[in-house]
Structure 1
Amino acid sequence: MCPEEYKPFNRNPPDEYHHLLHLFYSSRTPSENPAESTYTPPPKWIPNAMELDRAGVKFKKKKPPADNFLNITFERRKMKITPLLRLLKLCLTFRSGRMEIPPLQIYDYTGPLFQNLIAFEQCYDNTQMHITIYALFMDCIIDQAEDVRLLHLEGILEHKLSSDQAVAELFNKLGCQVYFDSKKNYLANQIEKVNKFYDSKWHKWLAALRRDYLSNPWAIISVLAAIFLLLLTVEQAVFSALSYIHHR
């Protein structure tokens, strides 16, 4: 578990730390307790990365400065319109989802390190369970090698393990039989927004349209040509109907 940049660490007096794991844990988690969430999360997390991608959610590497690897955000953004698509502006100015995740480097020792930090949070009630929530979140979006590959292509995950499948199995094991207090879920609001976006059939339809018909210039030209021919056909039908009515 290694973020690209280390944050400065100046916290409690040395005698307030129980052991080295406690000290390391404090250096990786936020200095201040997060604001209480106004949202009570249901017993539901989110789909994996590939499913979210097919629903129109785009994963992006969070740009610096990022506080730490825990700072995951989701927002709805307007889709960009290229000059070639000006004619379709009215039907392409819908919003897409954008999930920003700080980069994470994974090594052979990352799994045991996460397990120790999660065990620390399970044993001490006064922790905010940031590591546990993060691990459960990553377990949700990473089900198989394809999910790891998608996050890797976006610069979010870098690993030194034998395969992408090994990374997927690492996070899948971290999420097994882990207890957490839902009131301490610092990602509750983000999860709610992601689920609302994912549950929209309109977003899934629009994402399929972009993927199947607007993924390259030739496909876009074909769609424009089809729309143009459709408009000509409708226009011809309207004029034929008007001409028929006029001659009656």
Structure 2
Amino acid sequence: MFESDDESLLEITRDEENLLSSIKQKIKNVPLSRCICRIPEEQLKGNVDKYHPQLVSIGPLHHSREDLRSTEDRKWLYLHALLSRSTRKPTSMDARLKICVNMIKESEHEARKFYEGNNVKLNSHAFVEMLLVDGCFIIELLLKYSAKELRRGDDPFFTSMEMFLRLRSDVLLLENQVPFFVLHRLFKIVQIPNIKDHSHPSIVTLSIAFFKRIIQREVKNISSQHGEDFKHLLDLVHNYYLPTTPKFLSSSTGRQTILPTASTLHKKWIRFKQAESETLLDINFKKGVIKIPPLKILDHTELLFRNFIAFEHCHGDKAKPVTSYVLLLRSLIQSEDDIRLLYKSRILVNGLERQEQILDMLKKIIVEEEETTMDMDFYYGGLREKIKEHLQTIKINRFMCF
């Protein structure tokens, strides 16, 4: 009798194990929402340099492009430098290389899901090698940026400012990404030297240091708020642009959410003022004043906004804060008069110097307006209603055309 019960218990345990195994396999095979996508052909026309790498390929979407082969040797040099760095642990370069390769092999299925729908045709061997080389290249690049003593005198990425700026832009492109979890896992394997001002550097803190001048705000350690759960480096930078203020709720949808120009609003007694805010997207309205954080237009601004917008649409989430911000700017800024007004309000910091660039950028950035205003969660949707309510309270009879 006892033996029979024991055999029955054993059978139940095996059934449970089979069930658990089945559930784990299904979880493993659940497709992620895509977060590294190709840019639609319509958006690429005339703007390839804003979406496609010009110097170095990262990830599978531009792998083996003939015009980028000149920098492939540099990536292998970075890989060698990272894996051969001396360590207090008695681990050889060959041993570290083997650990890295085995880790990536185990992560291959998970990593491929980041490119779901993009027809990544690399076989397993080529895909693993690509993640290893590109991932280690990124880590070594971040280390060399923060620690000058690690750089070689003949390294063109750091001896030519033009090349460095192009490289930094390439590393931010949506089509030029590898999953962040791969970087994180590689970082835990390789030997990280002591770096001045970084007592215990992490992949996040080094990434923040590398992109600090692009972020346009006081940089704090974002890992304390978001951990290390980023999809890729573009996502990490994108997190620094997310608004912290409550969104403007709206009872209407579609084009009713779009504002008149800044000059038109100014004529209706609406004032503009520079906001002191943590992020660029923290826009506020109170007592007839629209407060907007200062924006400095730089050479990389258009590229950054374009790739943020592409990422928000690729990811499939209805919340598209940067898309909302750019759409709002397009509504407010349609002439040089609008630029001058926002410059005097200390919102467009270098607006007078770059009037043509600002107008051209906002005109050219493609945001599908029907999708943007009808299908997404427009962050500033209720701003127009708040302005109208304010005008009604001060009994102005000549309203703008709503």
Describe the shift of the 1:101–1:183 C-alpha distance in structure 2 as closer, same or farther (beyond 3 A).
same
Q: Is the 8 A contact 2:262 2:333 kept in 1?
A: yes
Distance 2:393 2:355 in 1: 30
* Matching residue of 1:22: 235
1:3 to 204, 210, 216: 216
Distance 1:143 1:170 in 2: 11
* Matching residue of 2:262: 49
Distance 2:352 2:248 in 1: 37
Query: Which letter does structure 1 place at the counterpart of 2:358?
Result: V
Describe the shift of the 1:176–1:154 C-alpha distance in structure 2 as closer, same or farther (beyond 3 A).
same
TM-score by length of 1: 0.62
The yes-or-no answer on 1:194 pairing with 2:361 is no
Q: Is the 8 A contact 2:243 2:280 kept in 1?
A: no
Describe the shift of the 1:12–1:106 C-alpha distance in structure 2 as closer, same or farther (beyond 3 A).
same
* Matching residue of 1:152: 343
Identity %: 26
Number of aligned positions between the proteins: 182
Q: Deviations over 1:187-245 (max 9, x none)?
A: 12222212455689953769xxxxxxxxxxxxxxxxxxxxxxxxxxxxxxxxxxxxxxx
Distance 1:57 1:150 in 2: 12
1:28-47 residue pairs with structure 2 within 5 A? Answer: 28-30=241-243, 37=249, 39-44=251-256, 45-47=258-260
1:75 to 279, 283, 286: 286
Q: SS of the counterpart of 2:251? A: coil
Distance 1:199 1:174 in 2: 34
Q: SS of the counterpart of 2:278? A: coil
Task: Provide the alpha-carbon RMSD of the alignment.
Answer: 3.2
Describe the shift of the 1:35–1:43 C-alpha distance in structure 2 as closer, same or farther (beyond 3 A).
closer
Query: Which letter does structure 1 place at the counterpart of 2:240?
Result: S
Unaligned runs of 5+ in 2: 1-213
Determine which structure has more spread, i.e. the larger CA radius of gyration: 2
Distance 1:176 1:38 in 2: 20
TM-score by length of 2: 0.40
C-alpha displacement at 1:124, in angstroms? Answer: 0.5
1:194-213 residue pairs with structure 2 within 5 A? Answer: 194-197=387-390, 203=396
* Matching residue of 2:314: 123
C-alpha displacement at 1:50, in angstroms? Answer: 0.6
* Matching residue of 2:290: 99
Q: Deviations over 1:159-178 (max 9, x none)?
A: 37853132122122235435
* Matching residue of 1:134: 325
Q: Is the 8 A contact 1:145 1:167 kept in 2?
A: no
Describe the shift of the 1:196–1:168 C-alpha distance in structure 2 as closer, same or farther (beyond 3 A).
farther
Describe the shift of the 1:193–1:37 C-alpha distance in structure 2 as closer, same or farther (beyond 3 A).
closer
Considering fraction of residues, name the structure with more strand: 1
Q: Is the 8 A contact 1:102 1:156 kept in 2?
A: yes
Distance 1:167 1:204 in 2: 33
Q: SS of the counterpart of 2:281? A: coil
